[in-house]
Amino acid sequence: MSDQQVDQGKRTWLIATGCAGAVGGVATAVPFVSTFAPSERAKAAGAAVEVDISALQPGQKLTVEWRGKPVWIVRRTKEQLDALKSNDADLADPNSDRKAYPIPEYAKNEWRSLKPEYLVVVGICSHLGCSPSDKFQAGPQASLPDNWHGGFLCPCHGSTFDMAGRVFKNKPAPDNLEVPPYAFLSDTKLLIGEDKKA
């Protein structure tokens, strides 16, 4: 037998207080560590948005929110697509060469989109941040040129954009509408905010 007697009461007390301390430490640490995780609001602010476009008919627009901004998805008609080339001479930046809003590689084309039929742009004017109005009907109208082929009119200062979101010359808006990163998950599903399949 050992020279020292084991005090069973003391041993039990030490084990119990040690366990209680460990539980209390974990209970205190969990809420503290969880504050490092982004909030739901923060996740939503930068998270990609999945959009069902199956009900979108030619000539219609759908608006979704991404990072607190309106994103327009327009299903263009054949006539609207055919008219795009005729606007080039009247546009400030027909090829989207300006760098204020770098355009994704897949949108460096006449349609500024992955698929010609679908336009995806941030619906905020590059002048002072107003949201342009739809003016999809072609032909002469108030505040629009007589050879209007359809597009958008910013009500704040009169900037006009064609059906590819390109700004016309001699308007206050300095740049075309921004093309956000996006990808087609299928023929009827879009992912706004990422340009690769999730």
Predicted local confidence at residue 56, as pLDDT: 95
Q: Which of 157, 169, 186, 189 is catalytic?
A: 157
Task: Considering only residues 12 and 125, tell me which one the structure prediction assigns the higher pLDDT.
Answer: 125
The mean per-residue pLDDT over the stretch 30-53 comes to 65
Predicted local confidence at residue 69, as pLDDT: 93
127 catalytic? Reply is: no
Residue with tokens 């109005």: 133
d(CA 123, CA 56): 17
49-52/182-186 β-pairing: unpaired
Predicted local confidence at residue 70, as pLDDT: 95
Residue with tokens 């007589």: 146
d(CA 66, CA 124): 12
Q: For the chain, what is the mean pLDDT?
A: 84
d(CA 173, CA 158): 9
Nearest to 96 by CA among 174, 10, 160: 174
Task: Considering only residues 186 and 17, tell me which one the structure prediction assigns the higher pLDDT.
Answer: 186
Predicted local confidence at residue 169, as pLDDT: 92
Could you tell me the pLDDT band of residue 4, with boundaries at 50, 70 and 90? low
Nearest to 147 by CA among 86, 92, 93, 94: 86
Question: Tell me: the pLDDT tens digits for 61-96?
Answer: 999 999 999 999 999 999 999 999 999 999 998 988
The mean per-residue pLDDT over the stretch 30-51 comes to 62
Could you tell me the pLDDT band of residue 40, with boundaries at 50, 70 and 90? low
> 3-class DSSP state for residue 4?
coil
The mean per-residue pLDDT over the stretch 106-125 comes to 93
Q: Residue 93, Cβ neighbours under 10 Å: how many?
A: 16
The H-assigned helical ranges of the chain are 8-34, 40-46, 78-87
The mean per-residue pLDDT over the stretch 106-121 comes to 94
Question: Tell me: the pLDDT tens digits for 171-182?
Answer: 988 899 999 999
pLDDT of 3 strictly over 70:
no
pLDDT of 198 strictly over 50:
no
In one-letter notation, the amino acid at residue 124 is I
Question: Tell me: the pLDDT tens digits for 133-176?
Answer: 989 999 988 888 888 999 999 988 889 999 999 999 999 888 99
d(CA 136, CA 133): 9
The mean per-residue pLDDT over the stretch 2-12 comes to 69
Written as six digits, the tokens of 88 are 């080039």
